[in-house]
Amino acid sequence: MKILILTASTGGGHKRAAAALEDKIKQISPQTEVRVVDALKAVGKVYDKTVCGGYHFMATKIPKVYGISYKITDHRNVMYKAVMHSNTLMANKLLETIEEFKPDVVITCHAFVTTMISQLKKQGKIDVKAISLITDYDAHRTYIGKNIDAYVLAEPQMENKLENTYDVDENRIYPLGIPVFDRFTQPFDKEEICRREGLDPQKPTVLLMAGSFGVTSVLDFYKQLAQKSSDIQFIVITGRNIRLFAHLEKLIDEIGTQDNTKLLYFVKNVEDFMHISDVIVTKPGGLTVTESLACALPLAIYSAFPGQERDNADFLLKERAAIMLDKKNGADEVVELLGNKEKLADMKAQCRRLYIPDSAENIFKLAKKLIGEE
């Protein structure tokens, strides 16, 4: 059996889901050939740069415009048709990748790629089973294609929208969750992790995923929060944002919070820091949300741009797994939450309830079912 997983670099979530899925399939079925391909890059550098660069610019610089576009394209209208037409024109450029690997199943982790695969199937240019993996906690019309064989959802409540809004056959809908690496759910020793990382296992711990925030806003927020209480310890991860890392390093030195702050650049063991933290301050990207749920880690949402992040935030707020921080009083709200043990425990329980285990394994079983192997 051959499985081709097609992803994209519009944010890191699509690629993390693809990597977790690939890792699990290789674990449980070494004989299965799995290949992960950045589909937008395979289509062409110009298209990839246009889509990824355009997404990043709109989401960070003109989020309201992005949000309006996101809502408009969730309906059948001129703008939706234009987006679909653009993706359709690019579909043939994926043929070389598909024909070279000759997969039995294609799993798409990005809405635009789903459109391309659906179009190629419609034209009879490929004959493979196709699974659309929706990596957010609400659906969007661009993830839907008439020739897609199965839709994997982040959570069961999304079924209603697919059936009643997008007219998807219920037999094609599978709420199997978003794949994450096993290490997010494996047993851990908090004291051992804290000892290794130079942290105090007895102190309330805030994990701040700062890499996707604006530099000025996160500096102001961290300063307010760090000065609220010396009893709280902070883990601040900037990702590959070296400018933000340098600014935070200078700020920590200026306000004298070196003793209760662990500042990190890009890390490969983020699950360790999630396991030992009491709350995560973050933006609600689909994979960050899923990884937090897997670790039973309540979320304090710092900001959410209109579109899929806002949808994810609304889902978490409704299910009491997160709080939305006020721009002016967010630091106070985090401190208040840490002091409210009952609310924190309830949020952790909600996270456990919402997390869907064994997602990658069940998606692999679905793939086998589609081609008649199970």
Give residue 216's pLDDT: 66
233 plus 332 within the same structural domain: yes
Asked whether the beta carbons of 205 and 297 are under 8 A apart, the reply is no
165 plus 299 within the same structural domain: no
Cα gap 109→116, rounded to integer Å: 12
146 plus 282 within the same structural domain: no
Give residue 253's pLDDT: 94
Length of the chain: 374
User: pLDDT by residue for the chain (374 residues), tens digit each?
Assistant: 999 999 998 877 889 999 999 999 999 999 999 999 999 999 888 888 888 888 777 877 888 888 888 888 988 888 888 887 777 778 888 999 999 999 999 999 998 899 999 999 999 999 999 999 999 999 999 899 999 999 999 999 999 999 999 999 999 999 999 999 999 999 999 999 999 999 999 999 999 997 666 656 788 899 999 988 888 999 999 988 888 999 999 999 999 999 999 999 989 999 999 999 999 999 999 999 999 999 999 999 998 888 999 999 999 999 999 999 998 899 999 999 999 999 999 999 999 999 999 999 999 999 999 999 87
Give residue 55's pLDDT: 79
Domain count, the chain: 2
37 plus 163 within the same structural domain: yes
206 plus 347 within the same structural domain: yes
163 plus 302 within the same structural domain: no
Q: Give a three-class secondary structure readout of 12-69.
A: CHHHHHHHHHHHHHHHHCCCCEEEEEEHHHHHCHHHHHHHHHHHHHHHHHCHHHHHHH
Give residue 240's pLDDT: 85
29 plus 96 within the same structural domain: yes
**Residue 63 maps to which CATH number?**
3.40.50.2000
143 plus 223 within the same structural domain: no
Cα gap 180→359, rounded to integer Å: 8
| Single-letter amino acid, residue 200 | D
174 plus 55 within the same structural domain: yes
25 plus 96 within the same structural domain: yes
DSSP state at residue 305: -
330 plus 229 within the same structural domain: yes
Question: Domain of 146?
Answer: 2-178+357-370
239 plus 269 within the same structural domain: yes
